[in-house]
Amino acid sequence: MNLSAKKATGILNPLAFLEREFNYREVSAWKDFVRIDQSFIRLAFFLHFLVYFLLLIPEIRDSPRGGIYFGFILSLNILSLVLSFQRKYLPAVIHGTNCTITFLVMMVLNESFYSFDDLHSLQLYNNYFLLVGFLVLFQMFRLKVKGCLLTALYSVVLHLGFTYFKLKDGTIPGFPLVLLVPDVVYLIMSLIGITIVVIVRRLVHISSELDSDYRFLQHELQIARKVQETLFPEDISIKGFKYEVYRSTPNEIGGDFYDFIQLREGNTGVFLTDIAGHGIASALVASFIKIMVATMPYRLKLHPVRLLEYLDETLLRQFKSHHASAVYIFFDFISKEIHFANGGHPYLMHSQSGSEFREIETTGSILGFGIKRPIAELVSLPILSGERLFLYTDGLIENRNPQGKQLGSEGLLEILNRNSSLTDLRQFKDVVQAELFGFFGDAEFEDDTLFLIIEME
């Protein structure tokens, strides 16, 4: 790695160093107080250079021993920075360094304003001690309640000591209460720091609980996904047609579902549904529909309209707050016909032996509302070798790309027709999928998405 790369990523670049040092994205990092102390020391090293702005004050700049005190401060910060790379003695390093630097800063102020003639000059000297309040407040970065309090009490004792000796050697009688202003500020800063620490630690505790719950839910969702995967048909060979499928869900589980129903005499039913919404509730309803389709009377599986009506009635009775769209196709290989009904689902797209795809417009109602009888019209087509059916859920055409544009059924038809001449079904699916990914780009799907391509043999 060259020098420029080191500057970009290492300690030679303070911004890059601090960004890496204070990376607390994981909740567990907020519980590692040793690591927090290490970060505190390193932050203190960078911020301690602000102390040197005191040299802009003429009295401090002309102080005979000011350079010595500032030299000690620099040495202490370098030493504490070096010691921060070990974990055993960090509290002692922090307290020792903090107390010594507070003492040295007060010594600089004390010697720089050593002589005064009246209360005004003494008050001016005293006001500079307010700057020590920032050292008190800085302790809140340690996320330890006692840090700010101990630093404040130590600062109060030091300040009172310095002020006492000033008054003892001076000509001002008594102890003016105005000189206690820095001590009040120290205590106020301490209370502010303690309050912030308590709030942050409470937020960390809450975040930790939420993180634990989130991890538990993620684990449960992963199990639920594996269970739901078993509901989908395996990659099986079906006599009479070939198929390809694509499925995506923004969550671990979703409400889009398809199934193949093996019937007598070699006939096959294909069922595809889209439960309204997505997530756990939709997935549970989809699982319920899977069981209904598998256990319903056999005669209904031979009649698409009756099958959809049975599902409509059951959903209305069992799940009044859920509804679904669905399409059921019955492949009758005895009579060489395809019969299907569409209950509020996107139109099927059909292509005959490499010709262009077209939508088969049908009428039908969403399942779960009991809107009308019959719930859908029955459509019949002859089975022709090489013809293709493209079934999909509305997420495919309603999800938006990075520019906010939806694909729409027209855009989907354009993609299908550009590639309808491809004779290999797997290649056709891969090319169509690649063009879909090209349209959506990096945009994540907001809704469950599924498409199923069937090609008659």
**190 and 306 fall within a common domain:** no
Instruction: State the pLDDT at residue 3.
Output: 42
Decide: 383 and 456 in contact? Cβ < 8 Å: yes
* Alpha-carbon distance values, 381 to 53, 125, 338, 376, 389 (Å): 87, 98, 5, 16, 11
**Would you say residue 248 lies in a domain?**
yes
Number of neighbours of residue 107 by Cβ within 10 angstroms = 18
Which pairs with CB-CB distance under 8 Å and at least 24 residues apart come from 219-226? 221/251, 221/252, 221/253, 221/280, 222/252, 224/252, 224/253, 224/280, 224/283, 225/252, 225/253
How far apart, in whole angstroms, are the C-alpha atoms of residue 254 and residue 242? Answer: 25
**69 and 205 fall within a common domain:** yes
**Would you say residue 217 lies in a domain?**
no
**205 and 242 fall within a common domain:** no
State the total domains in the chain: 2
**Would you say residue 340 lies in a domain?**
yes
Instruction: State the pLDDT at residue 173.
Output: 67
Nearest 5°: CA angle at 182, between 180 and 184?
70
**292 and 366 fall within a common domain:** yes
Q: What single-letter amino acid sits at 276?
A: A
**60 and 119 fall within a common domain:** yes
Q: Which of 170, 196, 211 is the last residue of a domain?
A: 211
**30 and 153 fall within a common domain:** yes
Instruction: State the pLDDT at residue 18.
Output: 63
Decide: 369 and 319 in contact? Cβ < 8 Å: no
**178 and 252 fall within a common domain:** no
How far apart, in whole angstroms, are the C-alpha atoms of residue 300 and residue 248? Answer: 30
**Would you say residue 10 lies in a domain?**
no
Q: Which of 195, 211, 227 is the last residue of a domain?
A: 211
- The conformational region for residue 277 under phi > 0 = left, psi -120 to 50 = alpha, else beta, is left
How far apart, in whole angstroms, are the C-alpha atoms of residue 286 and residue 255? Answer: 6
**203 and 255 fall within a common domain:** no
Which residue shows structure tokens 């310095």?
162
Q: Which residues span the domain enclosing 400?
A: 236-456
Q: What is the pTM of this model?
A: 0.61
**245 and 298 fall within a common domain:** yes
**Would you say residue 8 lies in a domain?**
no
Instruction: State the pLDDT at residue 335.
Output: 93
Q: Which of 148, 178, 211 is the last residue of a domain?
A: 211
Instruction: State the pLDDT at residue 2.
Output: 47
**Would you say residue 193 lies in a domain?**
yes
Q: What single-letter amino acid sits at 157?
A: V
**86 and 45 fall within a common domain:** yes
**Would you say residue 332 lies in a domain?**
yes
- Closest to 113 (Cα-Cα) out of 125, 104, 130, 131: 125
CATH assignment of the domain containing 403: 3.60.40.10
**Would you say residue 335 lies in a domain?**
yes
**301 and 190 fall within a common domain:** no
Q: Kindly list the averaged pLDDT for each block of 10 residues, start to end, along the chain of length 457.
A: 46 63 70 85 87 84 86 92 88 91 88 68 77 89 89 92 77 73 92 92 84 79 75 81 88 81 91 82 83 90 94 87 90 95 94 90 91 92 94 90 90 93 93 92 80 93
Instruction: State the pLDDT at residue 14.
Output: 62
**244 and 207 fall within a common domain:** no
